[in-house]
Chains A and B, each alone.
Chain A
Amino acid sequence: MRQLPPPENDNSRKRKALLLIFGKASGITGLAFLLSFLISSPFAATISALFSSTEKSDFVMSDLFYQIADNRPVRTFDDRMVILDIGNSNRQEIAELLSVVSLCGPKAVAIDVNFELPGENDSLLLESLSSLPSLVLPLGVREEGERFVIADKPFFYDDLKDVNYGVINFPTDHPGATVREYAKAFPMKEGGRLLSFPEAAAKAGGYKVDLHEKSSGVPTGIIGYHSREIITIPYDELIDRAEELTDKIVLVGTTTEAGDVYSIPLRRGVSGLEIHAYSLSTILDGVELERMPGYIATIVAVVVCFLMVLGAIAIKSGMKGLVLRVAQIVTLYLLVRVGYSLFVDHDIVSDFSQAILMIAFGLFSVDLWNGTASLIDWIKKRITLYKEKRLELKRI
């Protein structure tokens, strides 16, 4: 005798329903991830709509953390270095300035000015350079394969002895992009490694610097721009403020050269010299900002997306839309809040942009899934109806 299956009790039904929902949510989350690889979305628009941020085309989440941190009413005054702004001084004037600098007892002098071609009466310049303690001069490099060759150097490169050189190139995602990192050392084609300009300045100032011999490629560090105060002395105030250079690393250059301005996470129009100063300050701190491993951000993205999708399919009440939108804003706030705390309290640079992206894609995928399921149901019903009609007609 055929036995009827035992009636399902409530618990069993609930468990089944729960499993169904979880299964559906997992499937939709997977779809959302797939879509995120196929369609790019300007997630930055979402975050910058909710949080005040300067409008930049290559905005990343950590830029917001820099801006929030820099807005705090406490900054660290960096008395280990000083910028000497030479403005539009010509070569003769620079030579005179440097001769004054040598009398001020600096610890090291790093000059971010390239004297590419010889000029008239360079003897004063060369004499001034020779009198400077622990001098660092800039070099520009060009990539050739996986290594680099010197592209820009001073005319006296092979002649002046006891000079340290530092590479002034910035590592960026593309030309004109925001400068967020400093290079540590460049592997040279002829062998060996050349330190970057800020690393060379730190070394010249007597600070311990890793030569990164064992690293591959160009190792980089994240620049800690936020909450720093670096003194800049205009060249016409040098004599009155000479004592401020004593025992410091002096960075010499101009902050107003039109062709040497870049964007940093805090603002646009920052000179290369100032970026070197921020990098040097970060190096001298000895505490590196670490990037959060990518897989953690991915896990957070999966969890956040899953929860959002679960809410979208499990909540049946009419308030579903309101609940989801509030959840979206709250999640966005929490991601920024947690990311910011990691940044200021633990020196960890996180990027939850994928999680933000996944919230948008998750909800999009819910609509896509439900819509597709409804479409398939409708097609099935149409086919069934059509088959039934045909059967009826045959009978007739």
Chain B
Amino acid sequence: MQRLLIILLLAFGINTAMAHYSLFTVVGDVKVESAGKTVKAAKGQTVKATDYIIIPQGGKVEVLNDLDKRVYTSIKPGKISVTKLMIEARGVAADNGANVASRMNLGRKSQKGTEKVYVEKGMVRRSLATYDPEGDQMEMNAETLGRYVASRISAGTLSSGEEAPVPVESKRLAEGGLGFKMENNLQFPIYFNIIKIRKGSKDDVNISPLGQPAGSYVVLPQQTLSREHFPALDEDEEQILIMTNCQYDVDKVIEEIVKALNDPDLSSSNDSSLPVYIHKI
């Protein structure tokens, strides 16, 4: 009887150690250390309870436990075992006092500047069909576009010398601001947006004050579009105009640019056949 009990306990222990855990979400350069080997973490990757997950600063990992059908999240940088990650997450989730206190607005103001959250996406689908019946059916792939822009940034080939297919003028304003004017002398609509990139940074890519956060600019044939931003712009930030022949989701493109800038493999591609023009204004 005792022997049977020991066998059952052993089997349970083995089963628990081999229980199905998988990486549900991976954000950032997360690594998994298993049996002495360290590999880059990937979504869907199976992990063992005894494996270690190495989370970088700003990274995030979510582990799906198939046994209890729960997703455990950790954003704490460092090395942590899968089991400990789940235990800690459970502990934090159960701490009602800390969870409530974390939402209180008592504390120092954020030292960062105004944080922009781009959640309003321009729903141009219906009206776009009126503007551009053909273009309504097309959307530039955000991943492809993002990687292409990232490759140009990495290669340092962003300059104002690139030949844009339409006349684009930009000028510095008296107060330090910036203005641009674009004239569409082509036979089809053009789509563009303007992002800003901090020089030397791989993460600081955002929508420019001259950009269009809801959707993208659409300029019809025989139309001119101009915009001016009077307050001084940060001289360490470059304002980059990205022009294509169909719409693109600037939020997703920005995400892909940042991803690609942080991964040399992704930003090495430079498909010059893409109908994309990048113009520094």
Which among A78, A79, A336 is the interface contact of B100 at CB below 8 angstroms? A336
Q: Is the CB of A52 within 8 A of B104?
A: yes
Given contacts A49-B105, A340-B99, contact A77 B92 (CB under 8 A): no
How many residue-residue contacts, CB under 8 A, span A and B? 74
Given contacts A79-B69, A344-B96, contact A74 B105 (CB under 8 A): no
Confirm or deny: A161 has a beta carbon within 8 angstroms of a beta carbon on chain B: no
A214 to chain B, nearest CB (A): 34
Confirm or deny: B70 has a beta carbon within 8 angstroms of a beta carbon on chain A: yes
Q: Is the CB of B104 within 8 A of A341?
A: no
Q: Is the CB of A50 within 8 A of B71?
A: no
Confirm or deny: A6 has a beta carbon within 8 angstroms of a beta carbon on chain B: no
Q: Is the CB of A50 within 8 A of B106?
A: yes
Q: Is the CB of B105 within 8 A of A73?
A: no
Confirm or deny: A395 has a beta carbon within 8 angstroms of a beta carbon on chain B: no
User: How many of chain B's residues have a CB under 8 angstroms from any CB in A?
Assistant: 27
A231 to chain B, nearest CB (A): 10
Q: How far is the CA of A189 from the CA of B73 in the complex (A)?
A: 49
Q: Is the CB of A73 within 8 A of B103?
A: no
Mark interface residues in A17-53 (1 if CB within 8 Å of B CB, else 0).
0000000000000000000000000000000011111
A139 to chain B, nearest CB (A): 25
Confirm or deny: A128 has a beta carbon within 8 angstroms of a beta carbon on chain B: no
Q: How far is the CA of A341 from the CA of B97 in the complex (A)?
A: 9
Q: Is the CB of A337 within 8 A of B100?
A: yes
Residue of B nearest to A329 (CB): B106
Q: How far is the CA of A72 from the CA of B64 in the complex (A)?
A: 15
Q: Is the CB of B64 within 8 A of A77?
A: yes
User: Which of these binds chain A: B49-57, B118-126, B263-271?
Assistant: B118-126
Q: Is the CB of B96 within 8 A of A345?
A: yes
Given contacts A258-B123, A258-B125, A269-B119, contact A77 B103 (CB under 8 A): no
Mark interface residues in A60-72 (1 if CB within 8 Å of B CB, else 0).
0000100111011
B144 to chain A, nearest CB (A): 15
Q: Is the CB of A77 within 8 A of B100?
A: no
B127 to chain A, nearest CB (A): 10
Q: How far is the CA of A73 from the CA of B75 in the complex (A)?
A: 9
Residue of B nearest to A227 (CB): B93
A341 to chain B, nearest CB (A): 5
A257 to chain B, nearest CB (A): 9
Confirm or deny: A333 has a beta carbon within 8 angstroms of a beta carbon on chain B: yes
Residue of A nearest to B85 (CB): A73
Interface residues of A in 216-244 (CB under 8 A from B): 229
Residues of chain B at the chain A interface (Cβ within 8 Å): 24, 64, 69-75, 89-90, 92-93, 96-97, 99-100, 102-106, 119-120, 123, 125-126
16 A-B residue pairs with Cβ-Cβ distance under 8 Å, sorted by A, are: A50-B105, A50-B106, A52-B103, A64-B103, A67-B103, A68-B102, A71-B103, A73-B73, A73-B89, A73-B93, A74-B71, A74-B93, A78-B69, A258-B126, A333-B100, A337-B96
